[in-house]
Structure 1
Amino acid sequence: MSVTAQVEAWMRAHRDEVLGWRRHIHAHPELSNQEHQTTEFLATVLRAHGFEPVLFPGTGLMVDIGPNDTERVAFRADIDALPLPESTGLEFSSLNDGISHACGHDVHTTVVLALACALADVELEYGVRMIFQPAEEVMDGGAEEVIRCGVLNGVHSIFALHVEPKLRVGRIGIRAGAITSASDVIDIVVHGPGGHTSRPHLSADVIYGLGALATQLPALLSRRVDPRTGTVLVFGQIESGIAPNAMPDTGRLRGTLRTADIHTWRTMEPLLSELIGQVLAPTGCSHTLEYTRGVPPVLNDDVATALFAAAGKRMDPQSIVESPQSSGGEDFSWYLEHVPGSMARLGCWSGEGDRHDLHQGDLLVDEGAITVGVSVFAALLDEYSAAP
């Protein structure tokens, strides 16, 4: 009997138990690097199914399944929540004020947890590793830390799913190459001698300099960077001054720089610093730039993505759709710097009502997505067994 058939049979028998896990995790969200109760809950469930999970320093854990004399296929779940109040009205809404699983990590975690438990009595041809990673939602992600802990030792490929409320349940969105973007934070402080608005010629106009940067920097980047890289600079914060007739001596401009091209990402900081200096030169203002590198784009491996597509078609020939490239960041990218793998989009819209967005307190996820996620991961294991 195939792995998929055995896992799906287990899911039918344990559906209510699995939904209970998801609802418990959803009701008890924890912020990045604070996922202590979540880690303990996962460890308790895994131990009850005969596993000996390995705890990471701080929070998070992993568990190995199957033979130890082969390289492993890894599946990654992220376990942290967001500092957002929940407004879904669900009976199992967040019990932690101001914190919610508004990005669907409770679903990701449940999928990998259920897959692990379903595989407890399955005869596997090769090893599998389940990674429950903390701190995906913070810069620059918890993936690097768990990689340093050795989670990729002996791993030849890695896979992940991310819920997508724009896709109906049953659909899996795949994309070879960049499926997400790099996301860096830009913090520019502009300096100049202040003064009075009646004598602007005696000072450097910090406000004017900030305005020039806000309008000219994005335009200049579009002429210095290949537009096919999807490079976008957007400012979300500008602040300066305390009075209408006083010219301030400092001001601040903050935003994000995103790109789908990893080579462009690696050259952005010196280019941006150069352009800022050129824009401000006529004003007489100086500046300091704090450039905080985030995560690289998730670059899905062609072969791993093809395996995802084949796995989805095993489950349902109509399940696979092409996913658009997102401007969001995802620290799954760090794993793909070391081993090939792929992240796919897991449809979670019920087909009725509004399609709620990620990172919003009203995000609703159809729980049927959990069964789909477990099935497609199981089908991936069958694809590996069938591969020459």
Structure 2
Amino acid sequence: MGITASVDTWLLAHREKVVGWRRHLHQHPELSHLEQRTTDFLEMILREHGLEPHRFPGTGLMVDLGPTDGPRVAFRADIDALPITEATGLDFSSVEPGVMHACGHDVHTTVALALACALSEAKLHTGVRIIFQPAEEVMEGGASEVIEWGGLEGVGAIFAVHAEPKLRVGRIGVRTGAITSASDVVKIKVTGPGGHSSRPHLTGDVVYALSSLVTTLPALLSRRVDPRTGTVLVFGTINSGYAPNAIPETGTLSGTLRTADLKTWRTIRPLFEELVGQVLAPTGCNFEVDYTRGVPPVINDDLATAMLADAARVIDPQAVVQAPQSSGGEDFSWYLEHVPGSMARLGCWSGEGTTQDLHQADLVVDERSIGVGVRLFASVVEQYGADASAAGPFLD
């Protein structure tokens, strides 16, 4: 019996148990770097199935299966939740005040957990590593820590799925190249001597300077950066002043700078700071830029994405759809700086009612998507093993 068929049989026999795992995780979410009970739960289940997981120094863990010779194929699941108060009304709603799995990480984790347990009973011809990563929702995310802790040692390729509530369950969205964007945080502090609003010519007008940045800086970037890179600057806060007739001494702006192009992400900071200076030069105000690098875009490898699509078609010839490019950030990108891989969108909309969105308090996912994700990964394992035997170009 092949790996995919073996996993199918296992899922059929353990469906209720797997759904129970997901509901336990959903009911007991934990924030980034605090996923202690989640890690304990995952370790307990893995050991019950005869596996020997390796815990990371903080939270999270990984487990290896199959042969130790040759490159392993890895699968990543993120295990942290968000600081959101749940409003779904589900029987298994979060019992943690102000914390919710509103990004589908409970689904990702259950997919990876079920895959590990199912593969523990299969005959593997290639090594597999399953990574349960902490802290995806914060910067700097847990992916960098996992890499530092040796999570990619011996890995030839890595794959992941992300829940997509705008995609019907059973559909798998794939995309070659950028599927997410880089996301950097920018803060600009503007200062001047202050003064009275009746005499603006005698001082540097901080409020005017801030307003000039808000309106002019995004437009300038659109003329200095190739628009095909999907580079977007959006400000989220502007703070200054204390009275209508006083020109303040300080003010701040903060926002995000996103791009889908890796080269642009690596080189845009000096340009950003140059343009800030050019906009503010006529105002006579001084400035400081606090530029925080976030994560690079997820750049899906073409051959890995083709493998992912082929694996999806084994499940259902009609499963594969084109995933849109997202402006959101995702630290799975750090793994792809080291090894080839691909992330897919896992449909989790029931097909009834209106679609929802991630990071929302009322997000409800169709739990049938768990089985789809497990079968997808099992099919990848089978294909990866076949390519390894044939010494295919993907593994060169």
Q: How big is the shift at 1:384?
A: 1.7
Q: Distance in 2 between matches of 1:144 and 1:130?
A: 16
Q: Is the 8 A contact 2:126 2:381 kept in 1?
A: no
Matched, 1:163 2:163: yes
Q: What corresponds to 1:307 in structure 2?
A: 307
Give the aligned partner of residue 101 of structure 2: 101
Q: Secondary structure at the match of 1:160?
A: strand
For residues 266 and 68 of structure 1, the distance between their equivalents in structure 2, rounded to whole angstroms, comes to 36
Distance in 2 (CA, whole Å) between partners of 1:184 and 1:375 is: 35
> Deviation of residue 385 (structure 1)?
3.0
Name 2:279's counterpart in structure 1. Answer: 279
Equivalent position of 1:33 in the other structure: 33
Percent identical pairs in the alignment equals: 69
* Counterpart in the other structure of 2:338: 338
* Partner AA of 1:85 in structure 2: T
Query: Which residue is 1:221 aligned to?
Result: 221
Where does residue 140 of structure 2 map in the other structure? 140
Which amino acid is 2:282 matched to? P
Q: Could you tell me how far apart the structure 2 residues matched to 1:132 and 1:386 are?
A: 25
- 1:121 deviates by 1.3
Matched residue SS, 1:344: strand
TM-superposition CA deviations, 1:317-374 (whole Å, max 9, x none): 0000000100000000000000000000000000001211001111110000000000
In structure 1, how many angstroms separate the alpha carbons of the residues matched to 2:199 and 2:381? 73
**For residues 1-388 of structure 1, what are the structure 2 equivalents within 5 Å?**
1-387=1-387, 388=390
SS of match in other structure, 1:59: coil
Deviation sequence 1:157-197 (CA, Å, 0-9, x none): 00000000110000000001000000000000001111111
Cα offsets for 1:277-313 (capped at 9, x unmatched) = 0000000011000000000000000000000010010
Give the secondary-structure state (helix, strand or coil) at the position aligned to 1:99: coil
Please give the TM-score of this superposition, normalised by the length of structure 1: 0.99
* Higher mean C-alpha deviation, range 378-387 or range 222-231: 378-387
Cα deviations by residue, 1:90-147 (Å, 9 ceiling, x for unpaired): 1100110001000000000000000000011111001100000000000121100110
Please give the alpha-carbon distance, in whole angstroms, between the structure 1 residues aligned to 2:143 and 2:127.
Answer: 21
Task: Give the match's secondary structure for 2:137.
Answer: coil
SS of aligned partner of 2:80: coil
Matched AA of 2:217 = L
Give the counterpart letter for 2:93 in structure 1: S
The alpha-carbon deviation at position 386 of structure 1 amounts to 3.0
Deviations 1:192-241 (A, max 9, x none): 11111111111100000000000000000000000000000000100100
Instruction: Return the alpha-carbon distance in structure 2 between the equivalents of residues 298 and 330 of structure 1.
Output: 7
Distance 2:86 2:220 in 1: 40
What is the CA–CA distance in structure 2 between the aligned matches of 1:273 and 1:384, rounded to whole Å?
45
Equivalent-residue separation in structure 2 for 1:235 and 1:364 (angstroms): 30
C-alpha distance in 2 between matches for 1:249 and 1:18: 59
Distance, in Å, in 2 between the alignment partners of 1:270 and 1:28 is: 43
Unaligned stretches of 5+ in structure 2?
Answer: 391-396
Q: Secondary structure at the match of 1:238?
A: strand
Separation in 2, partners of 1:35, 1:244: 47
Greater Cα offset, 351-360 or 223-232 = 351-360
- Deviation for aligned residue 1:55: 0.3
Q: Deviations over 1:5-50 (max 9, x none)?
A: 1001100100000000000000000000000000000000000000
The amino acid across from 1:377 in the alignment is F
| Contact kept in structure 1, 2:147 and 2:335, CA below 8 Å | yes
Structure 2 CA distance for aligned equivalents of residues 101 and 264 of structure 1 = 32
- Partner Cα distance (2:382, 2:68) in 1: 18
Distance 1:229 1:359 in 2: 25
Q: TM-score, normalised by structure 2?
A: 0.97
Q: Which residue identity does 1:165 align to in structure 2?
A: P
What is the SS of the residue equivalent to 1:267?
helix
Distance (Å, rounded) in 1 between the aligned partners of 2:274 and 2:386? 53
Provide the rounded CA distance (Å) in 2 between the counterparts of 1:70 and 1:353: 47
**C-alpha displacement of 1:70:** 2.3
Q: Counterpart of 1:270 in 2: which secondary structure?
A: helix
* CA distance in structure 1 between the partners assigned to 2:19 and 2:70 by the alignment: 32
Q: One-letter code of the match for 1:354?
A: T
